[in-house]
Amino acid sequence: MSASSVSIKNLRKQYGDLEVLRGINLEIPAGQTVAVIGPSGSGKSTLLRVLMTLDRPTSGDIEIDGVPMWLDAHGRPAGPNSAHVRQVRGKIGMVFQHFNLFPHMTALGNAMEAPMRVLGMSRAQARERAAEYLEMVGLGDKLDVYPAQLSGGQKQRVGIARALAMCPSIMLFDEVTSALDPELVGGILQILRDLSARRSMTMIIVTHQMKFAERSSDRTLFFDEGNIVEDAESSVLFSQPQEARTRQFLDCVIEGQ
Ligand SMILES: Nc1ncnc2c1ncn2[C@@H]1O[C@H](COP(=O)(O)OP(=O)(O)OP(=O)(O)O)[C@@H](O)[C@H]1O
Ligand SMILES: [Mg+2]
């Protein structure tokens, strides 16, 4: 599958009285890797959840490859379990901070499950594909190992292989390195860089680690209070932030790191 473009127009998300996304406008061309940084509670995970269709926007539009996420082919509103929304969701994969692996399945079993269940792949086909992605993330020798016997970094790599086995055209990563010891972060960074270099997926990476954001992405968004405050090429945003709020945030986190 080739990468998908993402177009977001005036996206708002409210929980009760709390407005978490306040009119986001964002165009991501197919194959780009975008990092999202910003203070806790600024709406970064909410953006990913809404993109993953786990949450419905309060208003605004999201289009994937020019196809509206929440309107069917006849332009009618589509429900969260409609064939239309399931088809859109099928293009998107997500990896979270916590690995959420099935504890009773091996690494291979974890990565085979969804392709068999969701894509209807045969066991043999799913096994071949899962093994290929586990090898890609450096776990070729751990196919038959259960999550309890894996390190945090290895579990996270199984999580990435499991998402890749579904062949998404968009991948969302929410703080995938936050639970890892610093020396394991480099391995995940390298995997994301390799994936990004292939340009076969569009990637959005939410992280609190500034070096990770800078090194993994083409472009960085600085989020604050539900808005994109700054949007620039990553090398530029980190070296010459234009907005006072971005400078203040970067000064603060870099001191704390
Ligand atoms: N399901 C929900 N119901 C009510 N409020 C929510 C819900 N999900 C998120 N929020 C609120 O929305 C705001 C933004 O949350 P979000 O998780 O998007 O922040 P974040 O930028 O990812 O923060 P962090 O960096 O700490 O992960 C927070 O104030 C949070 O409490
Ligand atoms: Mg978050």
Q: Are residues 87 and 177 in the same domain?
A: yes
Residues within 6 Å of ligand 1 by CB: 15, 18, 20, 40-46
> Per-residue pLDDT tens for 5-18?
999 999 999 999 99
Q: Are residues 176 and 251 in the same domain?
A: yes
Q: What is the mean pLDDT of residues 146-155?
A: 92
Testing ligand 1's pocket by substitution, the residue of 17, 36, 45 carrying the most ligand atoms inside 8 A of its CB is 45
Q: Which of 167, 184, 219 is the last residue of a domain?
A: 167
Separation CA 3–CA 195 (nearest Å): 11
Percent of the chain with pLDDT over 90: 88
Does residue 77 fall inside a structural domain?
yes
Q: What is the mean pLDDT of residues 59-64?
A: 97
Minimal-distance CA residue to ligand 1 atom 5 = 15
**What is each CA distance from 18 to 12, 120, 225, in whole angstroms?**
11, 40, 11
Q: How many domains does the chain have?
A: 2
pLDDT at 255 over 80: no
Residue type, 215: R
- For ligand 1, the distance from its centroid to the CA atom of residue 40, given in whole angstroms, is 8
Q: Which of 167, 185, 209 is the last residue of a domain?
A: 167
In the chain, the N- to C-terminal Cα span, in Å, equals: 38
Largest CA distance in the chain: 55
- For ligand 2, the distance from its centroid to the CA atom of residue 125, given in whole angstroms, is 35
Q: Which of 122, 146, 167 is the last residue of a domain?
A: 167
Q: Are residues 127 and 184 in the same domain?
A: no
Separation CA 217–CA 171 (nearest Å): 13
On whether the pTM is more than 0.75, the answer is yes
Does residue 1 fall inside a structural domain?
no
State which residues form the domain around 75: 6-91+172-256
